[in-house]
């Protein structure tokens, strides 16, 4: 009789654990990549959602001339962060050539990178020059950068490899 009760308790505990494991799996709590494991600081992203450039569609800067907020159903992980798009076409364009659409310097401010400092850019403050998307930490930075973009791009391109190595991947 003791053996049966002990067996029933073991089975009951196993069933509860199995049930909780199934619920956690269905909710995406088990086996889902966590932010500390999946995200790269080489691309500016929201630390809570993992979204690059605040969820704006990087292709929309080029197609619409302004950032458009992407949709969760058109989301992809690339370069250690999550990108959203307004439609399937923009998602396909990005997947075909991500280097074209990703912001320069991982979304860090182009002027800050030129100065040797990786400060996050603000997605709504941007410029497109020579088919490259540049973000800035303020409107004042963007204004300064636009006065001599060639020299700032030269300096930022030179500084970025070292700065990027210092960021977690």
| pLDDT single digits (tens) 62-102 | 999 999 999 999 999 999 999 999 999 999 999 999 999 99
Q: Answer yes or no: is 10 within a domain.
A: no
Q: Which domain holds residue 96?
A: 37-165
| pLDDT single digits (tens) 106-149 | 999 999 999 999 999 999 999 999 999 999 999 999 999 999 99
Q: Answer yes or no: is 161 within a domain.
A: yes
Q: Answer yes or no: is 15 within a domain.
A: no
- What would the DSSP string read from start to end of 71-136? EEEEEEEETTEEEEESSHHHHHHHHH-HHHHSPGGGGBBHHHHHTT--PBPEEEEEEEETTEEEEE
Question: What DSSP element (H or E) covers 21?
Answer: helix 2-26
Q: Answer yes or no: is 116 within a domain.
A: yes
pTM for the predicted model, two decimal places: 0.77
Total of domains in the chain: 1
Q: Answer yes or no: is 150 within a domain.
A: yes
Q: Answer yes or no: is 7 within a domain.
A: no
């Amino acid at each position: 009789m003791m053996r049966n009760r002990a067996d029933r308790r073991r089975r009951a505990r196993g069933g509860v654990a199995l049930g909780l494991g199934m619920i956690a799996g269905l909710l995406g709590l088990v086996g889902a990549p966590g932010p500390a494991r999946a995200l790269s600081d080489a691309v500016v992203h929201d630390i809570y959602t993992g979204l690059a450039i605040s969820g704006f569609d990087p292709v929309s800067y080029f197609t619409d001339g302004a950032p458009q907020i992407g949709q969760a159903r058109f989301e992809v992980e690339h370069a250690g962060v999550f990108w959203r798009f307004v439609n399937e076409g923009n998602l396909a364009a990005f997947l075909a050539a991500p280097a074209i659409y990703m912001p320069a310097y991982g979304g860090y401010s182009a002027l800050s990178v030129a100065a040797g400092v990786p400060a996050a850019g603000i997605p709504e403050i941007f410029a497109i020059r020579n088919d490259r998307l540049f973000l800035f930490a303020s409107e004042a930075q963007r204004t300064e950068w636009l006065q001599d973009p060639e020299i700032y791009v030269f300096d930022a391109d030179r500084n970025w490899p070292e700065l990027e190595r210092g960021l977690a991947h």
